[in-house]
Structure 1
């Protein structure tokens, strides 16, 4: 006669569940890469600060540099708004993030034109890699920078 010993259900469940535990645990979610528009917003803030400094130090360029400062400030706000819409900031408050601390380059007419050309190229280069809405925003900023360069 064969004697069969009863196995508790908990023991069977524990043996069957052990291989499933690693399969059920999710890997920690990697943080998303930095938003490329954040760097453009930071650069727009720096350009606006440099243009403001130029407007204050050069009476003959005050009007033009003032317009560049206003436009680049508007670009920075639009870009930061889009960055915050896509990835809401973890802190409360609507103030733009602090600058990286790098001092603004001493502004001259040529440096302002070069900065606008670089901003135009940067924005244009990102257009194929972003959504339609963002592409429209970047195209508008690139066009704005091109028109500002023509005014200078």
Structure 2
């Protein structure tokens, strides 16, 4: 009678386990496209604040644009963090102000920035979930209305 020893059984059980432990790790997910839009919204808000300070005639309107783009950045970042929670709970939140001084803003550069933000948000709508599409559609519409008021 041929018996199987305990060591042979353990070795047979360990082989699949060893293979599972040495498998290639999954590649990290691609960057969230909304994260880039959130960063751009923060930059747009900083540029609008700079415009408000440098141009008294546009101060009120530029201030409203800054407030709206800050709201957009917050909503986008909240969605990015919901979809892909930050790895560390002690990590600082994303900066609400760019570390670089914003480029000198003019009415024309703000109109162009809002147009670009509208187009980029609109282009992503068909590629994301319905909830995210609604968020992006709202942001695109908000940028379009701000652009029209500024123009």
Q: How many residues align?
A: 148
Between the aligned partners of 1:94 and 1:71, the Cα distance in structure 2 is 26
1:73 paired with 2:50, answer no
> Which one has the largest radius of gyration?
1
> What is the match of residue 146 of structure 2?
148
Normalised to the residue count of structure 1, the TM-score between the two structures is 0.84
**Mapping of 1:27-46 within 5 angstroms?**
27-46=24-43
d(CA) in 1 for partners of 2:72 and 2:117? 10
Q: Higher mean Cα deviation, 16-25 or 133-142?
A: 16-25
**Mapped partners of 2:8, 2:92: distance in 1:** 58
TM-score of the superposed pair, with normalisation by structure 2:
0.85
Runs of at least 5 residues in structure 2 that lack an aligned partner in the other structure:
none
Take 2:124 and 2:62, find their aligned partners in 1: how far apart are those partners? 26
Q: Cα offset for 1:34? A: 1.0
Structure 1 vs Structure 2 CA RMSD: 2.4
The whole-number CA distance in structure 1 between the counterparts of 2:55 and 2:98 is 26
> Which residue of the other structure, out of 2, 6, 10, is the alignment partner of 2:6?
10
d(CA) in 2 for partners of 1:21, 1:52: 58
